[in-house]
Amino acid sequence: MEATTRNRLPTLFEVLSRRTFPPVDLFSFFIYMRDHQRSLDYLDFWLDVAQHMSLCRHYVRELRRSVLVSTPELGQERDVSSGQYDFADEDDKDSNQRLSAFLRSATPDPSMSQQRRSTGDHLETPPTGGPSFMSSSGNDPTTSSSIAHTVNRADVRASAEKILYTYLLRGAEREIVLPEPILQSIQHAIEIELRDDPDLFMDAKDYVFQAMERDAFPGFLRSKALGNLVPTSVMLRLVIGLLAMFGGFWAAFSLIFLDIQPRVTRLWLILPFLIGVYCLIANQYELDPIMGLIGVSEYTFMEFFAVREPYVRRLLVKRSIWILILTLGIVVALVCLYTFVPGKRL
């Protein structure tokens, strides 16, 4: 697997392409965009466009298969130049361009839209606000296995319209902010030119990708690759840490000013100081070292999962060991300080 040989943090494209494992997988990024960035619509738009591209590929494959079945004599001719009709590589820009060119060649005459408007037959707005691909299905939205076996051109057209009316039009239920030229270009291509090929969304998809890569992805890596706690857990450790440290200092000064004997009794201060320092440092680094050593992390509050990305696993173990060493050093210093201070009864 690629993850076992990747000696670095993953890129955003690798996460979106489902080439990574928890805690830096697509589902973790989905939760981060929903709970931290509050901009899940951008991720859903990117996934819906990827689904639309997969739908187009599936439609072309079905169309080609039906042609070959109905005219077997063309099969050998097509096999000789099969590369010309191969649209399967989702990461190949040339393949995407060939796919879009093929679909544009089969697009109805744009003059039909003029006739439809003159007769009052406007494009019907498809339903909006449907569930996202992350929440509605566990299938990969970028593969044809999540698409029904039979796809016709009306399905491709409906998919393009759904993206337009769900995310791009002004006042849409899940409107995302894009440059006006990109929005106008897409709307004109769909409603006037009657296009539904993947190329019409490429500028918007690239813009959204760059925005997520710049604004959200660095924070996601800091949260999931360098830490293993969600904000609620981080705040809980802060509260527990402050209370434990207050109790530790209160007990320490009480033992000193009451001159409790024997002095070895003060060694019990290790308990509140250990809990307090441990929680405060975990809060500071957003990393629980015990969870890091056993290889678990949080999706949401008190919902844990195993860390399966090898490089992230090693990174969390190293940081956990450092936090434990730092915690023990501070605790030992505090206990020694309050143990060897002479007592004085007030």
| pLDDT tens figures, 85-103 | 444 444 556 666 677 676 7
Evaluate whether residue 275 is within a structural domain. Answer: yes
- Choice between 146 and 225, residue whose per-residue pLDDT is larger: 225
In the predicted model, is pLDDT for residue 340 greater than 70? yes
Evaluate whether residue 15 is within a structural domain. Answer: no
- CA-only gyration radius of the chain, Å: 29
**What is the structure's pLDDT at 202?**
93
Secondary structure element (H or E) that encloses residue 175, with its range: none
Both 203 and 160 in one domain: the answer is yes
Q: CA 58, CA 156: separation in Å to the nearest integer? A: 10
Mean pLDDT taken over the chain: 82
Both 114 and 172 in one domain: the answer is yes
Domain range holding 281?
A: 221-340
Q: Are 53 and 149 in contact (CB under 8 A)?
A: no
Q: Percent of the chain, pLDDT > 90?
A: 60
Both 76 and 158 in one domain: the answer is yes
Q: How many domains does the chain have?
A: 2
**What is the structure's pLDDT at 69?**
60
Both 58 and 207 in one domain: the answer is yes
Q: Are 292 and 317 in contact (CB under 8 A)?
A: yes
Both 205 and 263 in one domain: the answer is no
Both 209 and 230 in one domain: the answer is no
Amino acid, res. 248 = G
Evaluate whether residue 108 is within a structural domain. Answer: yes
Which of 191, 215, 239 marks a domain boundary?
215
Secondary structure element (H or E) that encloses residue 248, with its range: helix 231-257
Both 196 and 114 in one domain: the answer is yes
Both 135 and 229 in one domain: the answer is no
Q: CA 312, CA 225: separation in Å to the nearest integer? A: 6
Nearest 5°: the CA angle 92, 50, 141 is 115
> Which of 58, 37, 43 shows the shortest CA–CA distance to 103?
58
> Which of 206, 209, 231 shows the shortest CA–CA distance to 299?
231
In the predicted model, is pLDDT for residue 9 greater than 70? yes
Evaluate whether residue 200 is within a structural domain. Answer: yes
Both 137 and 206 in one domain: the answer is yes
Evaluate whether residue 189 is within a structural domain. Answer: yes
Mean pLDDT for the stretch of residues 129-155: 53
- What's this model's pTM, rounded to 2 decimal places? 0.79
Both 245 and 284 in one domain: the answer is yes
pLDDT single digits (tens) 33-59: 999 999 999 999 999 999 999 998 888
Bridge-partner residues for 304, per DSSP?
Answer: 298
Evaluate whether residue 4 is within a structural domain. Answer: no
In the predicted model, is pLDDT for residue 82 greater than 70? no
Which of 157, 189, 215 marks a domain boundary?
215
According to the 3-state scheme, what is the secondary structure of 73-142?
HHHHHHHHCHHHHCCCCCCCHHHHHHHHHHHHHCCCCCHHHHHHHHCCCCCCCCCCCCCCHHHHCCCCCC
Amino acid, res. 51 = Q
What are 75's two structure tokens? Answer: 């099969």
Evaluate whether residue 76 is within a structural domain. Answer: yes
Q: Are 187 and 168 in contact (CB under 8 A)?
A: yes
Instruction: Scan for tokens 């106008």, then name that residue.
Output: 184
Both 250 and 197 in one domain: the answer is no
Bridge-partner residues for 305, per DSSP?
Answer: 297
Q: CA 38, CA 144: separation in Å to the nearest integer? A: 29
pLDDT tier at 62, thresholds 50, 70, 90: confident
Look up residue 298 and give its DSSP letter: E
Evaluate whether residue 114 is within a structural domain. Answer: yes
* 253 Cα distance to chain centroid: 49
Q: CA 123, CA 183: separation in Å to the nearest integer? A: 17
**CB atoms near residue 28 (< 10 Å):** 23
Give whole-number Cα distances, 343 to 245, 269, 321, in Å. 21, 15, 35
Q: Are 164 and 78 in contact (CB under 8 A)?
A: no
Both 86 and 159 in one domain: the answer is yes
Amino acid, res. 344 = K
Q: CA 197, CA 22: separation in Å to the nearest integer? A: 33
Q: Percent of the chain, pLDDT > 70?
A: 76
Nearest 5°: the CA angle 80, 84, 88 is 110
